[in-house]
Structure 1
Amino acid sequence: MDMPRNALLPGERLLWSGRPQRIAPRGLDWYCLAFGVVWVIVAFGIASGRTVYVGAAVALFGFALAWGPVIGRLWVLRRTVYAVTDGRVLVADGVTGHARASAYVRALPPPVTRPGQDGVGTLTFGEAGGFLGTFLAQATAKSSQPTIVLVAVPEAERVRDLIARA
């Protein structure tokens, strides 16, 4: 199991842990990446002669603005470890072991899976659907507890059943 032991509470028993599979840009990410490329082309197309350096600076700024969040999200997701214990669901950093988000299973709504290919799917808690639904659920949450979403989980159906039993 991949879960660093320092993320578990004393006496807590680990039932399942795993890492996201097939980490790739999704939905809105592709638009951000395309926008970054278009931004660079337009910035260099407008720049000419003495303004080449200004155009390069504008192009670099736009490129970083569009691609930065996508690359950052993918980098964080690559380091993520998911865990289900006998009482909690955790999302932790796989390098440091610090929990980014955790919630007690009894406090969460029932898990919902969106299965993908080969049993890999996304697990959400509640009825948030897709990227926009997850974003809105996080933005309108009345508590300080983060919305937990397990992305690209191997054997998502089995993990959902395990959480439901816990």
Structure 2
Amino acid sequence: MDEPLIVLLPGERLLWSGRPRRVVPTGLEWFRLAFGSVLVAVFAVVLPVWDGRISFMGVVIVTFGLAFVCAPVVVRLWTTRRAVYAVTDQRVVVADRATGRILTWGDLRLPTVTPLGRDGLGTLTFPVRGGSVDVLGYSVPKRHQPAPIELFAVPDAEGLRELIVQEQAED
């Protein structure tokens, strides 16, 4: 177990802590990068051909388009790379490893596990109070509700889920 940066609440017991082992874009993020880049590239080619010259405004639009497409993916990858996770007997916490600041936390609930491959890594998705809706296999928060807490690239994700099940059975 990695040393957590999270201060435990009185009476709280640490069950597991760790960090993501591999940080890569998810399937929807790959689609966003590919589809968005193609749209921006088409726009970058069509605008000069249609207008006959490359305008300053066209360069600005293409730059902002690429930023709009890539920024959410890059930000998620950056924050995930710096994350440290802790699962206690009462809650799940995600903190920034560099600053120690808690990014998100929620009550400990039974997570769903999405395997990432044969290496045993998986993503644990913890539902939050208020619930979420399942859309094409992805948990989407209901309107005006916080997003589910996701622990990306966790080693032995199924084992961690079983540990949580065992802890909840004891309580």
TM-score interval, normalised by the smaller of the two chains: 0.7 to 0.9
* 1:4-83 matched pairs, under 5 angstroms: 4-6=5-7, 8-45=8-45, 46-47=47-48, 50-83=53-86
State the TM-score, normalized to the length of structure 2.
0.77
In structure 2, list runs of 5 or more residues that go unmatched: none
The DSSP-based 3-state class of the residue aligned with 2:153 is: strand
CA distance, structure 2, for counterparts of residue 145 and residue 9 of structure 1: 22
The DSSP-based 3-state class of the residue aligned with 1:25 is: coil
Aligned pair in 2 of structure 1 residues 154, 12: CA closer, same or farther (>3 Å)? same
Corresponding residue of 1:152: 153
Aligned-residue identity in percent: 44
Which residue identity lines up with residue 61 of structure 1 in the other structure?
Answer: F
Corresponding residue of 2:100: 97
Which residue identity lines up with residue 99 of structure 1 in the other structure?
Answer: I
The DSSP-based 3-state class of the residue aligned with 2:55 is: helix
**Deviation digits for residues 78-101 of structure 1, max 9, x if unmatched?**
111111123222122222222222
In structure 1, list runs of 5 or more residues that go unmatched: none
Length, aligned pairs only:
158
Backbone CA RMSD of aligned residues? 2.6
CA distance, structure 2, for counterparts of residue 160 and residue 88 of structure 1: 13
CA distance, structure 1, for counterparts of residue 73 and residue 99 of structure 2: 22
**Deviation digits for residues 34-53 of structure 1, max 9, x if unmatched?**
23322332233222555432
Which residue identity lines up with residue 162 of structure 1 in the other structure?
Answer: L
Q: For the Cα contact (< 8 Å) 1:2–1:81, is it kept in 2?
A: no
CA distance, structure 2, for counterparts of residue 31 and residue 91 of structure 1: 26
CA distance, structure 2, for counterparts of residue 79 and residue 53 of structure 1: 37
